[in-house]
Structure 1
Amino acid sequence: MSRAEEIAASPLRTRIYVDGYNLYYGCLKSTPYKWLDLMVLFERCILPSSAPAASELLPLSIKFFTAKILEKASRALDSVSSQARDHTALRKLYSGRIDIIEGYYSLTESKAKLIDPAAPATWPRHGQETLVWKLEEKQSDVNLALQAYHDAITGEVEQVVIVTNDTDIAPALSLIRSHTQVQIGLVVPARHQQRIPNSELAELAHWVRTHITLAELATAQLPRVIPGRKPTMKPESWYARPDLLEQVLVLAIPVTGNRGKAFKWMEEPNPHLDGKAPIELVETESGAAQVIMYIERYRQHLAEIIRPADMNPADRDLPPDRS
């Protein structure tokens, strides 16, 4: 093999640039897979199945572009704390491999034109105005574009993998194509091809992954607890059915001793539940009912073992047998 062929066959030094906003709304919203392990998703699932050439992830493998949620604009009471836990978990588990680069959210009052239901074809300039809240993520797109272009133009990478479907990134990709030999991979953050790849982005890429499967998201989940001086735990609201999870925990805690032990029990395969872990079963009402029934049977079994006849007479309400 010639030197040129050896170079062509060697793995491409690769870095991944993730638009967190696009990833969340394209793949994660309304799923139980928000506790996502980005490294596993791309290193073990996306790149091996999509990139035409072998990829060698750089020590700093992933640049994740996001913004802190504004509490006054959040949809859930724990949105801010849950996002913070997620970022802390990634930083703990992948220190030096994942870089979280934050922009910010802007929340402002703005005027908007109302659509007249009686005449929807009326031009906006003739419509009535109303005040609305305008929430915008700032800097993330710019940061992603600049970081990818910088890494390409300085020769730090041989392949950039862009995870977005936002056309604002197109000018940066065009510059990378025009001024470097860097390969461009495009991963559209969508489930089961729910979103058509942006044609402008797709034309600039050397290869395109049109969607991320639910099976891949399910496989690439962080451990429930990330150890450390202060452990970081998956938010309970991020499970498939937090309501069913809480019902089971209420019954399991008195038996196991505390919430942590209850979770540990729920994560282990149980021979009395067809070898399934209770945490898997509580994703559905029928599965949760199966777990609840098992716990209740177990509690009844304990009650029968520790029945009054087996107790020390001094511990019973009835007087001791003096015969």
Structure 2
Amino acid sequence: MRTAFFVDGYNLYYGLLRGSPYKWLDLSALLGSILRVQEPSASLESVHYYTAPVIAKLATRGQASNDAQHRYIRALEARGVHVTLGAHRLDRGFAPRYIKGQKPSRLDQVAIWELEEKETDVNLALGMYRAACRSSLTGVSQIVLVSGDTDLTPALSAIKQDFPGIELGVILPHRQDRGGVVRNPPGSLKACSDWMRTYISDAELAACQFPGKIPLPKKPAIVKPGHW
């Protein structure tokens, strides 16, 4: 069973990697390992990663955060991962003022900065659907989404209806809470998938890290960011 993975980079980072020592994650190794457990006869055909560039002026570490992301994307590409970049939109917006004990009012609003990731969900949804369309040529018979974002439910539903022969899996990029507690999975994603993995363990993340330095032919090696 040839399997194509589609990874929501934003959801992966904030759901699993932020604040952890496992950001230098070898996605191909991790997903291949999970796939072997889920279905030993399956093979990893491709990994597709979708994200948007960090805006340095809004990042905790400024330009260092942007540089770290750039190194990570290069590391993924060196391992054969297909990376698709969207964009961030930063604009002035308005939101109801917070006053403790009172309901929000649209008549009392304050100016805020609105940061929105653009194109990632659309690109990811199109990528999965196009993979399904090409399955007769590529031999892909399983598509796995790595995200907990329910906005991607319509894409899974469309593939399930239009390509009933394709197996659909979902891996939620969630870590186990202390005591082994796992958050309840989104019902809409579960309803559209043939199987779902609800967490990724720290042990799995630790076992699937890139080396500190990744050599490249005819190019400088990719070095793990110091603050990662």
TM-score, normalisation: structure 1: 0.65
Q: Which residue of 1 aligns with 2:207?
A: 219
Percent same amino acid among aligned pairs? 38
For the residue of structure 2 that corresponds to 1:80, the secondary structure is helix
Q: Which residue of 1 aligns with 2:71?
A: 85
Q: Deviations over 1:210-252 (max 9, x none)?
A: 00001101111001001132111111101xxxxxxxxxxxxxx
Match of 2:187 among 184, 199, 209: 199
Correspondence 1:43 to 2:24: no
User: Which of the pair has the greater relative contact order for Cα pairs under 8 Å at 6+ separation?
Assistant: 2
The one-letter code of the counterpart of 1:85 is R
Distance in 2, matches of 1:66 and 1:168, equals 15
Match of 1:66 among 32, 51, 63: 51
2:35/2:44 contact within 8 Å kept: no
2:215/2:222 contact within 8 Å kept: yes
Instruction: Give the superposition deviation at 1:55.
Output: 1.3
Distance in 1, matches of 2:2 and 2:37, equals 17
Distance in 1, matches of 2:193 and 2:157, equals 9
2:97/2:104 contact within 8 Å kept: no
2:3/2:144 contact within 8 Å kept: yes
Match of 1:124 among 87, 102, 105: 105
Q: Return the index of the structure with the highest Cα Rg.
A: 1
The one-letter code of the counterpart of 2:209 is Q
Aligned length: 217
Instruction: Give the superposition deviation at 1:89.
Output: 1.5
For the residue of structure 2 that corresponds to 1:231, the secondary structure is strand
Aligned-residue RMSD, C-alpha:
1.4
Q: Which residue of 2 aligns with 1:307?
A: none
Q: Select the structure that is richer in helix.
A: 1
Q: Which residue of 2 aligns with 1:107?
A: 90
Q: Which residue of 1 aligns with 2:221?
A: 231
Name structure 2 gaps, 5 residues minimum.
Answer: none
Instruction: Give the superposition deviation at 1:176.
Output: 0.8
Write out the 4+ residue segments of structure 1 that deviate beyond 6 Å after TM superposition. Answer: none
Q: Which residue of 2 aligns with 1:209?
A: 197
Q: Deviations over 1:118-164 (max 9, x none)?
A: x33x24334x2111111111111111111101111232421001000
Q: What are the equivalent positions in structure 2 for 1:109-258 lying under 5 Å apart?
A: 109-117=92-100, 119-120=101-102, 122-126=103-107, 128-155=108-135, 156=138, 157-180=140-163, 181-192=165-176, 194-228=182-216, 229-238=219-228
Q: What are the equivalent positions in structure 2 for 1:5-16 lying under 5 Å apart?
A: 12-16=1-5
Instruction: Give the superposition deviation at 1:194.
Output: 4.7
Q: Select the structure that is richer in strand.
A: 2
Distance in 1, matches of 2:132 and 2:121, equals 17
Distance in 1, matches of 2:105 and 2:194, equals 40
Name structure 1 gaps, 5 residues minimum.
Answer: 1-11, 239-323
Instruction: Give the superposition deviation at 1:56.
Output: 1.7
2:4/2:47 contact within 8 Å kept: yes
Q: Which residue of 2 aligns with 1:9?
A: none
The alpha-carbon distance between structure 1 residues 124 and 54, as it changes in their structure 2 partners (threshold 3 A), is farther
Correspondence 1:29 to 2:18: yes
Q: Deviations over 1:287-314 (max 9, x none)?
A: xxxxxxxxxxxxxxxxxxxxxxxxxxxx
Distance in 1, matches of 2:77 and 2:55, equals 21
1:37/1:221 contact within 8 Å kept: yes
The one-letter code of the counterpart of 2:172 is V
